[in-house]
Structure 1
Amino acid sequence: MHRYLFASVAALGLAACGGNTSADADGDGEITGAEVAEMADEMVKPEAGQYRATTELVELEAPGAPPEAVEMMRGMMSRSFEYCLTQEEADRGFEEMARESQDENCSFEKFDVDGGDIDAVMTCSGQGEGTMRMTMQGSGGRTSSEMTMTMEGNIPGQGEGRMVMNTSHERIGDCPAEG
């Protein structure tokens, strides 16, 4: 599940790309990790600083799961934390993150950006875990982003289900001084 969330963060960063663009650069109907990374290399880079990230599980359908398991998942997936994006990380932009989000088990069905808006669909298959299809819609810029992700498919340990999550990242100041 964390792999899917990491991939969505990479996709969200790409929303800061300008213009109306599909990642399917060669028009063959398949969107490769290289095509997504190429788009990431050409986009606006994030601003360095201290960020607050918030993830909220707003919907969970896990047929057959006991209510306490659903509440435990809701607690694990709904959280807020802060992190420092260093100048070095900001200078690298989203290309490295986009490359890391792709593996042989995941592929994009759709990846369109228009200004700061994103509309993407990614499918991942895990060994023995079935398939998870993730739809990502949101917007982002140099200092903030918001996205809604809908994941449908096999939820590990729960069977077929559906989750809807909202995520946001907001620059809240400079990174704390080390000392």
Structure 2
Amino acid sequence: MRAACALILAVALAGCGDDKTVEKKDASTAEVAKSVADSGMKLKPGRWDLTMKFARFEVEGMPPEAKQAMQQMLGQGRTYSSCLTQEEADKPDGSFFGQEAENCRYDTFTMGGGKIDAAMTCKGQGAEGATEAKMKLVGTYSPDSYDMTMDMNGAAPNGKTMTMQMTLVSKHVGACVGNEDR
């Protein structure tokens, strides 16, 4: 799931620049990354700050103490920063878009006109055997910001049902200062 989140964030950032629509069905993360990179969409170079917030996180059979601790974390954002060079911004390569998410495929992916709408299925291995997670990403983007909501339904590593909703809000904040997370 971590790889899928990284991929989704990177692809969302790619919306900055020329306004060309990218549409894919039943595509690997690498295929989507290449299509976005080849579309001429460019990132704005410099520092980007991303705030992630969990709006919902539920696991079937979660002990009451764990559920209470999770409820206290909901709505609290965590901010990360990244620095993109001009070269990375002009032609992001596949690794920037998270090709390592080989266990995930886009059922559908549409990005253009300032909107993104994607559905992804990721397969993994948990303590109870094979697992599958379905993710839906909907949001908006502009050259200076994006605002996305990701919903996920699937199985936790213990095989129990898990649902999650996360918001991702990012904005270009200026020049890199050297203390970015990435």
Corresponding residue number in structure 2 for 1:97: 96
1:58 to 55, 60, 65: 55
Once the two structures are TM-superposed, the CA of residue 102 in structure 1 deviates from its matched residue by 3.7
Deviations 1:68-97 (A, max 9, x none): 324358749841122222223223336443
Corresponding residue number in structure 1 for 2:124: 126
- Partners of 2:150 and 2:50 in 1: CA distance: 15
SS in structure 2 at match of 1:109: strand
SS in structure 1 at match of 2:96: helix
Once the two structures are TM-superposed, the CA of residue 151 in structure 1 deviates from its matched residue by 0.6
Q: Percent identity?
A: 30
Conserved 8 A contact 2:47-2:83:
yes
Cα gap change, 1:81 to 1:159, in 2 (>3 Å): same
Conserved 8 A contact 1:65-1:158:
no
Corresponding residue number in structure 2 for 1:142: 143
Deviations 1:28-79 (A, max 9, x none): xx32345313321213211111221100000112121124324358749841
Conserved 8 A contact 1:31-1:108:
yes
- Partners of 1:160 and 1:45 in 2: CA distance: 38
Provide the alpha-carbon RMSD of the alignment: 2.7
Cα gap change, 1:35 to 1:164, in 2 (>3 Å): same
Higher mean alpha-carbon deviation, 92-101 vs 149-158, is at: 92-101
How many pairs are equivalent?
A: 172
Corresponding residue number in structure 2 for 1:12: 12
Specify the code of the residue in structure 2 equivalent to 1:98: F
- Which protein is richer in helix relative to its size? 1
Once the two structures are TM-superposed, the CA of residue 112 in structure 1 deviates from its matched residue by 1.1
Q: Which runs of 4+ in 1 moved over 6 A?
A: none
| TM-score, reference length from structure 1 | 0.81
Cα gap change, 1:62 to 1:166, in 2 (>3 Å): same
- Partners of 1:139 and 1:166 in 2: CA distance: 12
Corresponding residue number in structure 1 for 2:82: 83
Specify the code of the residue in structure 2 equivalent to 1:40: V
Once the two structures are TM-superposed, the CA of residue 101 in structure 1 deviates from its matched residue by 5.0
| TM-score, reference length from structure 2 | 0.80
Specify the code of the residue in structure 2 equivalent to 1:123: T
Higher mean alpha-carbon deviation, 141-150 vs 32-41, is at: 32-41
